[in-house]
Amino acid sequence: MNMAIVIPAQETNKYHKLGDLAPFGDTSLLEWKISQCKENFDGSNIYISSDSEFIKNIAFKEGVNFIERDKDQSYIDSLMSTVYQVEEDAVVWINVTSPFLTGAHYKKMYEQFVDTKSSIVSVSEKREYVFYKDEKLNFSNEFVSRSKIEPIYIMTNGCYITSKSEILKNKSLVGNSPSFYLLDTFASTEIKDIEDYSIARDMISIFFKREING
């Protein structure tokens, strides 16, 4: 497969003092994510992007590639320099903060990317009554049940797949006309703060039960 799986990682962030090295089960969030990627993809296609020497050592231990980031770079500059350094034509950008997105999801997303020839973003579907700038966005004065309302789709920040050339051209992981990969509520779980992190840790046992039961 002509693709690079890129996992950005840092030693500290807003949801935990250890950042992406925060404990998760009997490992860390970063190592958990690497193991998920290895379920379906070779380590030679996996890149860890970080400015941390400790994370660099983890990458070498796990047998994956490492891209060193500048500590003072902005998000966009970091994205661009990281993507520029991968050799593959397609980039699968994965965040460790979506711990229940598995290798099976990534494989299906990549297959969708190949089939549709368009960038892919992971999304969750919401059937809720939405206002935007004080205007009704997806419903009218005639009341309908939630099951019949026009859904909205929210990017989960779990995974993006885009061609390398499109990222470098648009300076974005999201293509001009992306296709959606729909996640269920469990898979769309995202860690954005310490409370989300605590909830995700409590969900690990449920995750394994789901995996065992298929």
Burial readout 30-55 (b: 16 or more C-beta within 10 A, e: otherwise):
bbbbbebbbebbeeebbbbbbbbeeb
- CATH for 48: 3.90.550.10
What's the total number of domains in the chain?
Answer: 1
Dump the DSSP string for 22-42.
-EETTEEHHHHHHHHHTTTS-
Q: Are 160 and 119 in contact (CB under 8 A)?
A: yes
Work out the pLDDT band at 214, boundaries 50, 70, 90. Answer: low
- pLDDT for the residue numbered 182: 97
Q: Report how far apart, in Å, the C-alpha atoms of 192 and of each of 31, 38, 103, 158, 203 are.
A: 18, 24, 21, 11, 15
Work out the pLDDT band at 44, boundaries 50, 70, 90. Answer: very high
Per-residue pLDDT reduced to its tens digit, 59-118: 999 999 999 998 888 889 999 999 999 999 999 999 999 999 999 999 999 999 999 989
Terminal alpha carbon distance of the chain = 26
pTM over 0.85: yes
Per-residue pLDDT reduced to its tens digit, 110-169: 999 999 989 999 999 999 999 999 998 888 878 788 888 889 999 999 999 999 999 999
Phi, then psi, of 212 in degrees rounded to 5: -65, -40
Work out the pLDDT band at 23, boundaries 50, 70, 90. Answer: very high
- pLDDT for the residue numbered 2: 87
d(CA 194, CA 201) in angstroms, rounded, equals 11
Tell me the mean pLDDT in the region 28-36: 96
Q: What percent of the chain has pLDDT over 70?
A: 98
Residue 1, pLDDT > 60, answer no
Beta strands in the chain (DSSP E): 3-8, 23-24, 27-28, 46-50, 65-68, 90-94, 120-126, 131-132, 135-136, 152-163, 179-183
Work out the pLDDT band at 6, boundaries 50, 70, 90. Answer: very high
d(CA 25, CA 116) in angstroms, rounded, equals 36
What amino acid is encoded at 136 in this protein?
K
Range of the domain at 166: 3-213
Tell me the mean pLDDT in the region 178-202: 93
